[in-house]
Chains A and B, each alone.
Chain A
């Protein structure tokens, strides 16, 4: 299989923070809003270098989202920064009316998504955000897989006109995609060609999928690994082309099974090309406190879980 090397583990949120600093330097219309989480969001450098374009809203996310919406009137490109939990459910109605329905060029940037937020526990571990955001008409939903991809995605969303939900995470994870890559919104990436099964993975689960692919190869199973960084719009062509070849699919995400990537792919396949599908995702439950590694294991989101899902789907072919 194609070899991927971890060039040194880094947190995806730092990719966001680094890109924001670059955007601050290159685009005078970029404005950052943050609801009292500046260090966690890795926005300290931006706030220091561009204090006149950094808006501290305090712990008031509803106000933050609507201020961002108002800023677009006059041509600003606002990026809001808080945790996934406070970027979505807490402000769903504000996003729905003042951003999505009003077609405003707001970038909702959410860190600490999913279960790998870790020790803070279920109150902060949002596992529903992709579903909530993808259901909104006009909304683009992106969940990059490592530091380099998050950095590239952040730069790309600035130049995409329209509302975007950009989701990333807290822990240090392998950084294996190319530095300085070009990020194309809505374009799936083929990370490994295979013939027996299509593995569609997003976010932190992409590295797990590649590890699983390696283990499966040793057992004589050839898996195609496709990175779906853009949950919406889904690259339907890429999904259908791969499944047409392999005849089955496994989806992998750090999100509820309800409403996530697997849900989108199953819906597409049910309509266009029905094949067996297995999903590596959280099974309709809340998270809990623990280290990210412990939690990924406990909630069935680890490399062996991907391997088991592949075997299960192959048995159904």
Chain B
């Protein structure tokens, strides 16, 4: 079991991978990807610990993860590769012709670790509910995790899912909202304020927990605590406060880094802030 320090080292390498992948592709979404690097690292290396050799679509008797805000896939791809789902050098093919690492996640190219396409927003929460119901029907005690963006909650279909999950007692689901407060056109508070998100979830009947998503120790503790809240009749949501661009000073909390690749010079500056811990691909 990795120590907090080891998890931190992995997350730092994931951030390096994100910068190098997006710079190499000359396109992609660095801001959100950097923000969720810590969460995805902890989720895979400590919480879910899936067996990459046994990956199949059904995922019976293992925890499942669905990425709903597909544009932060560079972080996910890096974590999957570093965890052992596919060769690390393949990260260099992101967004290139013939790659299994599509601009948004896809099952079409059979990339191990991915069970559902995502990118068009507002679908992953419902998909996760379906997978959670299948687990209950199969008597499978493992959990389903999903990550959604905060801006993504503006998609109305999420609110269909938010009504459904408590009504049907989907208590083997942990939804995580990446609350970085930024979206393409600016701060979420200006584009379409979410208001009191905690109160909204609670009013719908969810068990709500908040955490700092860029503090590895807190992510680890909170995920373990929320796991202990499952199976009690209510779905769980974690409002995860993160910083878009976290780990790179000039990208931090700046919505302009939502979907812009760093130039070679900017990438070099970013990498100088991120120590190479596990070896670059």
Q: Are A55 and B133 in contact (CB under 8 A)?
A: yes
Q: Are B164 and A74 in contact (CB under 8 A)?
A: no
Please name all residues of chain A whose beta carbon is closer than 8 Å to the beta carbon of B126 when the two chains form the complex.
62-63, 65-67, 69-70, 94, 98
Q: Are B163 and A60 in contact (CB under 8 A)?
A: yes
Instruction: Using A31-B137, A70-B131, A71-B130 as known contacts, say yes or no to A103 and B108 having CB atoms under 8 A apart.
Output: yes
Instruction: Spot the interface stretch: B12-20, B54-62, B174-182, B273-281.
Output: B54-62
Q: Are B59 and A74 in contact (CB under 8 A)?
A: yes
Q: Are A63 and B164 in contact (CB under 8 A)?
A: yes
Q: Are B137 and A69 in contact (CB under 8 A)?
A: no
Q: Are B137 and A74 in contact (CB under 8 A)?
A: yes
Instruction: Using A62-B157, A67-B126 as known contacts, say yes or no to A101 and B106 having CB atoms under 8 A apart.
Output: yes
Give the Cβ gap from A50 to chain B, nearest Cβ, in Å.
11
Give the Cβ gap from B20 to chain A, nearest Cβ, in Å.
28
Please name all residues of chain A whose beta carbon is closer than 8 Å to the beta carbon of B60 when the two chains form the complex.
74-75
Q: Are B157 and A67 in contact (CB under 8 A)?
A: no
| CB < 8 Å A-B pair total | 117
B148-177 Cβ-contact flags toward A at 8 Å (1 or 0): 000000001100110110001000000000
A74-103 Cβ-contact flags toward B at 8 Å (1 or 0): 111010000000000000011011100111
A65 to B107, CA, bound (A): 18
Contact of A70 among B117, B119, B120, B133 (CB under 8 A): B133
Contact of B117 among A53, A63, A98 (CB under 8 A): A98
Q: Does A57 contact B (CB under 8 A)?
A: yes
Q: Are A69 and B58 in contact (CB under 8 A)?
A: no
Q: By CB atoms of chain A within 10 A, which of B119, B137, B161 has the most?
A: B137
Give the Cβ gap from A24 to chain B, nearest Cβ, in Å.
13
A71 to B126, CA, bound (A): 10
A78 to B134, CA, bound (A): 10
Please name all residues of chain B whose beta carbon is closer than 8 Å to the beta carbon of A104 when the two chains form the complex.
116
Q: Are A73 and B57 in contact (CB under 8 A)?
A: yes
Task: Give residues of chain B (63-120) contacting chain A, Cβ–Cβ below 8 Å.
Answer: 64, 66, 106-108, 115-120
Q: Are B58 and A67 in contact (CB under 8 A)?
A: no
Q: Does A68 contact B (CB under 8 A)?
A: yes
Q: By CB atoms of chain B within 10 A, which of A52, A73, A94, A96 has the most?
A: A73
Main secondary structure of the interface of A (DSSP, over half): helix
Q: Does B132 contact A (CB under 8 A)?
A: yes
A103 to B116, CA, bound (A): 9
Q: Are B127 and A69 in contact (CB under 8 A)?
A: yes
Contact of A73 among B58, B106, B117, B124 (CB under 8 A): B58
Please name all residues of chain B whose beta carbon is closer than 8 Å to the beta carbon of A69 when the two chains form the complex.
116, 126-127, 130
Give the Cβ gap from B73 to chain A, nearest Cβ, in Å.
14
Please name all residues of chain A whose beta carbon is closer than 8 Å to the beta carbon of B58 when the two chains form the complex.
73-75
Q: Are B157 and A70 in contact (CB under 8 A)?
A: no
Please name all residues of chain B whose beta carbon is closer than 8 Å to the beta carbon of A98 when the two chains form the complex.
116-117, 123, 126-127
Q: Nearest chain-A residue to B110 (Cβ)? A: A103
Contact of B120 among A52, A75, A93 (CB under 8 A): A93
Q: Are A70 and B129 in contact (CB under 8 A)?
A: yes
Give the Cβ gap from B171 to chain A, nearest Cβ, in Å.
16
A69 to B131, CA, bound (A): 8
A118-152 Cβ-contact flags toward B at 8 Å (1 or 0): 00000000000000000000000000000000000
Q: Does A58 contact B (CB under 8 A)?
A: yes
Q: Are A67 and B130 in contact (CB under 8 A)?
A: yes
Please name all residues of chain A whose beta carbon is closer than 8 Å to the beta carbon of B212 when the two chains form the complex.
none
Q: Nearest chain-A residue to B140 (Cβ)? A: A74
Contact of B128 among A55, A68, A70 (CB under 8 A): A70
A178 to B101, CA, bound (A): 50
A67 to B163, CA, bound (A): 13
Q: Nearest chain-A residue to B70 (Cβ)? A: A97
Contact of B164 among A60, A68, A93 (CB under 8 A): A60
Give the Cβ gap from B146 to chain A, nearest Cβ, in Å.
10
Q: Does B138 contact A (CB under 8 A)?
A: yes
Q: Are B120 and A97 in contact (CB under 8 A)?
A: yes
Q: Are B137 and A66 in contact (CB under 8 A)?
A: no
Q: Nearest chain-B residue to A71 (Cβ)? A: B130
Please name all residues of chain A whose beta carbon is closer than 8 Å to the beta carbon of B140 when the two chains form the complex.
74
Could you pull out 11 A-B pairs where Cβ atoms are within 8 angstroms? A62-B123, A65-B126, A67-B126, A69-B126, A69-B127, A70-B66, A70-B126, A70-B129, A74-B134, A75-B58, A75-B138
Report the 8 A-B pairs with minimum CB-CB distance, sorted nearest first.
A70-B130, A74-B134, A66-B126, A60-B160, A63-B160, A62-B157, A67-B130, A70-B131
Given contacts A66-B129, A98-B126, 14 further A-B contacts (CB under 8 A): A31-B137, A57-B164, A62-B122, A62-B126, A63-B126, A63-B160, A66-B123, A66-B161, A69-B127, A70-B127, A73-B131, A74-B60, A103-B107, A103-B108
